[in-house]
Structure 1
Amino acid sequence: MTIREDQVKALANDTRIEVLRLLDDPAAHFSHQDSADPVKTGVCVQLLAAHFQVSQPTMSRHIELLKRAGFLKAKRQQKWTYCSRDEKALAEYATWLKTSLNIKDI
């Protein structure tokens, strides 16, 4: 599978799109995270799972697809995994999509 196929697949799910939206402003949505600063470190996968009311393995699968697409960075600290958006990858994908579909500026 190519990176573009992974990216399209990653964005073909409402939960994964909402994860990216929430991580755009982690301080607004996850200020209650005590283990690390959500802006500097990222948001804990367990908090994301709780937000969506899904199991941690289910959320981990969503995170894995977003990481494979390049849209998320994940770092492990002790027993926790923290996620943040990869803004460069998201911008590159948006440019590619716009160019590929010949979308004009509005």
Structure 2
Amino acid sequence: MRFVAANLHPDHDTITTFWNGNISAIEAPFLHMLELASRWDGCGSTRSPIDGTKIDANASKYRSIQYDRAKDLGEKLAIDIATLMERAERADADRGVSPGVTG
């Protein structure tokens, strides 16, 4: 968010308004980011996805998955994202925050 905002620090009202107006637009990139992170051993990895260094490597049969398994994982991530979005909406409702209204 700070990158998109040119390192400015938007207040919670701005973030909430953006969130409530763009939930469906947020879910697809979030799923894509989680899929990429899972390929790179999560967000704590020190490897760079942009690095073009050519090195010899052996593929691990324990770390690779087949296409149908990857599809299942993608579907599970989509369900997990939907669950997280619902939890966020319930948390807002518990605090008395209505969609599109900041508090």
- For CA contacts below 8 A with separation 6 or more, give which structure has more relative contact order: 2
| Rg comparison, structure with higher value | 2
Compute the TM-score of the two structures, normalised by the length of structure 2. 0.29
Between structures 1 and 2, the one with greater strand share: 1
